[in-house]
Structure 1
Amino acid sequence: MTYRYRVATVFLAGFFIDCINIFMSAIALPDISRQLQVSESSVAWVANSYILGLTLIIPLSAWIASHWGARLTMMVSMVVFSAGALFTGLSSEFSGLITFRFIQGIGGGLLIPVGQALTFGLFGKDERARISTLVMAVALIAPAISPAAGGAIVDHLSWRWVFLCNIPFSLVTAGLAMCWIKSEKTRAQRPDIAGLLLVSLALTALLLGMSLYASAASALLPLSLLAIGLLFAVLYVRHYRRKATPILDLSVLGNPRMRFSVLVYYAVPGIFTGVNLLNIFFLQQVLGWGASETGMLMMLYAGGSFCAMTLCGRLYNRVGAARLFLLGLCCHAAGIAMLALVSAQLSLPLLTLAYLLMGIGGGIGANTAQTTAMIDFEGEQLARASTIWNLNRQMSFSVGAALFTLLFNLLQQHTTSTAAYHRAFLIAAVLGVLPLLQLMSLKTPSESLCDQKER
């Protein structure tokens, strides 16, 4: 195996572990909620605290790698991840579980941006569609097997083993990084600590505000947190404009392909994360499904995604990103809308078709976004774009879960639980096609290359 494929293997292994960690833990949330006696909105912090750990460390990853080297950075990443998973699984209180999930996020957040920048830097632009297909294949396999496996673990063992079972995979990845990655160091500027603090405070306040809004005795606290989050976001934008080397280089969002791909990630994986979380609670608490049965639905999603990604890898350079985005977003939204028709009398056929459509649409949309987002960047700018992209990818999962948990809780105050779930799914379907309003601003890859030659 050549060096660049060894690097890609370590990166993809870390990415696989990250995806497993997100989708497998979602299946366990109803059991965690019952056993630790926390609400549905509060239990979403099992994911949110992990995202906050990622948020803190992802912008620092390039600087850490410049001092430690890629090999040590990627190896330590998986060791910290393993320690976080161990203590999360052993936690007896919800506060401890959330703390160790935060530590686990710090571990996971180191490997992925460093590994992605290193991998994409070793492959030319004409080869990145192939690598993006491999990335999305991992993003397909992990959701396919982890919910079903997680459901079986929850039903036959305990939700704790959902976290503990990650440890062997992360330790093997740490060993591969030690053996396969070269120890050379890159050059990176001193990190922007003030910017990092503003970004972390903004995200923390926004997620806290959304998760507390529906269950708070008064709306004053959650609304204040949302306002504070927006204030910190505005302060970061001002800080970014004055800072020569900001922690997050927002200039990469000036690229229309990156900007549109970011929107698509919120509309597809982000919305799907929230919708799937609601559907897990709906099936287990309203329709009485078991965790194993619920997890098996992701096999259908994976089947649709596999077909879609196979198609994308062959058609991307022929038909262009715009047409693929149109097809993907429409299929994904149609699948979500079908969930609004699921009832005790008619569940399995509709769920089968819904998850197949969401898988096809999600596979097309996410794979196309992964390729399109990075297609215009090289060298140091690629590393900055990779940081933005990976932070956005993780934030989309957390924002999607928090937003739709909030939406469901608000709807539930005015109607039955079943009707609240169904209305939330319909709203999600509408939100999922909103990026199409900006589709005309997207150029094809060939037009992008022509622009670069002219410059």
Structure 2
Amino acid sequence: MPDPLLQFRLFGRSFPLLPIIVASALFMENMDSTVIATSLPVIARDLLEDPVALKLALTSYLVSLAIFIPISGWMADRFGSRTVFQSAMAVFMAGSILCAFSSTLGGFVAARFVQGMGGAMMIPVGRLVILRSTEKSELVRMLSYLTIPALLGPVIGPPLGGFISTYFHWRWIFFINVPISILGLYLAARFVPQVREARLQAFDLPGFALSAFGLGLLMTGFATLGRHLVSTPVAVACLLIGALLFAGYLWHAARTPAPLLELKLFRQISFRSGVAGGFLFRIGIGAIPFLLPLMMQLGFGLSPFESGMLTCATAVGALFMKTAAASILNRWGFRRVLIGNTFLVAASLAVIASFTVHTPHVLMIVALFLGGCLRSLQFTSLNSLSYADIEPAKMSQATSLASVVQQLAAGMGVTVGAAALQSSRALLGHADFLPLDFSLAFLCVAAISLCSLYFLLRLPANAGAALTNGEH
């Protein structure tokens, strides 16, 4: 088995190879998701579609993640971590190639779903390889390498996507994944260990079928209600069938010893507040990557490159806040930070709603940077709080459930943002999107983010104290 501590030298310094391989896959996935958001108007124009219809390309990817993330660990245990990691990377590359050659909305949406299948397996399995093949004394250092691409991808993605879409062709956005994937496949074959779990837990096939089709049809129904891709009766049918199947999963999970998604975890107040409250918060925030590039390009007439250079300020703010979040939580405690910051985030969305075509770009950058700081603090707080009181034996189940909810919330955010945008255009009676439409949409998602207070206000004063200095 390859040595997980195998090093390579660069600029006179040594770096562990295994986490760098996994980090490169994570960087590719994170960058890809932000690159496409900046390029949506250009892609829509080339496919002869309404730009709002391209919401389906974002939601299909997120729904695919939500469906397949819960089974990634079982797949790695059953078939081996190297095999699943390589297969996932190959599927992601295939999905990228299909995206690049897509000529219709339906084909593009299907290709994005394939991409999501690869992404759902690639990163969780890669992280699992590191956890299972690294000594505890080296674990923190190894995992630290994964945070760098997770933070840099959203910074580089918007300007890169805008640059390619403005000066080349949007299809090259997906072709750049091919050489990265080929290199990753080669390195994985040589250096990623084939780790398996000796005692394999039985796979919850009925639970997977009910949750996959239930959640998939529910999200498809919500996303297509605007008469994109399918008719309204078909969208409503998807909603109804999806709701019935998911209700079936709830019945199944209550009677199964080891369900795919352990919903009993919601009985724990910190997990419920972090995940369920986070769901409402993330719906509002999940609309930003969709609405903001459209506002800059369709509302203000900026090029994709100009739009990407402005919107990446949000990711820079998030990167900056990572160093301060722990100190803020130690000083004020989870409850006060989450409640107060919810109002601040909603205010930051209202500031974006006030942007006009005449707003100086410097002010936009400052506002987006500060908004990125605030949202990063909220995400860090919610994620940490969710696991504050989870016992170690339940940590894997909690991680899977929280990941699924987060992806669904992001997909719902895109859907809600698009619905608000379309509703404003219809009510105001104009054919093209105007800046006012985007302002109203941002105010709508700000109000949804505020709804997370329903869960956060119920937190005890000492919530998450085990993760801070315990004084709150």
TM-score range, shorter chain: 0.7 to 0.9
CA separation of 1:8/1:377 partners in 2, compared to 1, >3 Å: closer, same or farther? farther
Post-superposition Cα deviations, 1:194-249, rounded to whole Å, max 9, x if no partner, equal: 22222222223222322332337985543443333322222211111122222212
Amino acid at match of 1:198: L
1:424 corresponds in structure 2 to 441
**Residues 9 and 323 (structure 1), Cα distance of their counterparts in 2 relative to 1, 3 Å cut:** farther
2:409 to 396, 401, 405: 396
Structure 2 CA distance, aligned partners of 1:326 and 1:116?
Answer: 32
| Equivalent residue, structure 1, for 2:215 | 203
* Deviations, residues 329-356 of structure 1 (Å, cap 9, x unaligned): 3332222111221112225244223312
Which letter does structure 1 place at the counterpart of 2:220?
L
- Cα–Cα, structure 1 residues 388 and 167, in superposed 2: closer, same or farther, change >3 Å? farther
> Structure 2 length normalisation: TM-score?
0.84
1:243-288 per-position Cα deviation (integer Å, ceiling 9, x unaligned): 2222212223333333322245435554333133122122212211
Correspondence list, 1:259-270, <5 A = 259-263=272-276, 265-270=278-283
Alignment counterpart, residue 277 of structure 1, candidates 273, 286, 290:
290
Matched ranges for 1:143-292 at <5 A: 143-186=154-197, 187-215=199-227, 220-263=233-276, 265-292=278-305
Tell me how far apart the structure 1 counterparts of residues 251 and 81 of structure 2 sit (CA, whole Å): 32
Instruction: Say if 1:163 and 1:137 are closer, same or farther in 2 by CA, change over 3 A.
Output: same
Structure 2 counterpart of 1:56, from 67, 83, 106: 67
Q: Flag the 1:271–1:363 CA change in 2: closer, same or farther, 3 A.
A: same
**1:37 maps to 2:56:** no
> Which whole-Å CA distance do the structure 2 matches of 1:329 and 1:392 have between them?
19
- Give the secondary structure class of the aligned counterpart of 2:354: coil
- Maintained 8 Å contact 1:210/1:402: yes
8 Å contact kept, 2:330–2:468: no
Query: Displacement, 1:319?
Result: 4.2
Q: Do structure 1's residue 445 and structure 2's residue 457 form an aligned pair?
A: no
Q: Which has the higher helix share?
A: 1
Equivalent residue runs for 1:23-172 within 5 Å: 23-117=34-128, 119=130, 138-172=149-183
- Distance of 2:404 and 2:452 partners within structure 1: 19
Q: Please give the per-residue CA displacement for 1:18-46, whole angstroms capped at 9, x wherever unaligned.
A: 22121111112111111112233432121
Deviates more, 1:385-394 or 1:355-364: 385-394
In structure 1, what is the equivalent of residue 9 of structure 2? none
Taking the TM superposition and a 5 Å limit, the aligned residue runs for 1:397-416 are: 397-415=410-428
> How far apart, in 2, do the equivalents of 1:347 and 1:2 lie?
50
CA contact (8 A) 2:218 2:242 kept: yes
What RMSD, in angstroms, separates the aligned Cα atoms of the two structures?
3.2
With over 3 angstroms needed to count, the CA separation of the structure-2 counterparts of 1:35 and 1:410, relative to structure 1, is same
| Gaps in structure 2 of 5+ consecutive residues | 7-14
Aligned to 1:370: 383
Q: Distance in 2 between matches of 1:386 and 1:14?
A: 20
Instruction: Give how far 1:425 is off.
Output: 0.7
Q: Give the residue type in structure 1 aligned to 2:312.
A: M
Deviations 1:122-168 (A, max 9, x none): 6989x98x999876654332111101011001111111111121233
Aligned residues: 449
Q: Kindly state the Cα deviation for residue 65 of structure 1 after the two structures are TM-superposed.
A: 0.8
Residue 408 (structure 1) shift = 1.4
Q: Please name the residue that 1:436 is paired with.
A: 453
How big is the shift at 1:359?
A: 0.5
**Residues in 2 aligned to 1:180 and 1:353: alpha-carbon distance in whole angstroms:** 43
Contact in 1 for aligned 2:420/2:444 (Cα 8 Å):
no
The answer to whether structure 1 residue 14 and structure 2 residue 25 are counterparts is: yes
Is the aligned partner of 1:355 residue 2:373? no
Task: Please give the alpha-carbon distance, in whole angstroms, between the structure 2 residues aligned to 1:7 and 1:411.
Answer: 49
Compute the displacement of 1:104 (Å).
1.4
Structure 1 stretches lacking a partner, 5+ long: none
Does the aligned pair in 1 maintain the 2:349–2:446 contact within 8 Å? yes
The CA distance in 1 between the partners of 2:386 and 2:108, in whole Å, is: 34
Q: Distance in 1 between matches of 2:142 and 2:342?
A: 22
Secondary structure in 1 matching 2:166: helix
What is the CA distance between 1:2 and its match in structure 2? 4.3
Is contact 1:334–1:354 with CA below 8 Å preserved after alignment? no
In structure 2, relative to structure 1, the CA distance for the partners of 1:247 and 1:450 (3 Å cut) is farther
Question: Identical aligned pairs, as a percentage?
Answer: 24
Give the TM-score, by structure 1 length: 0.87
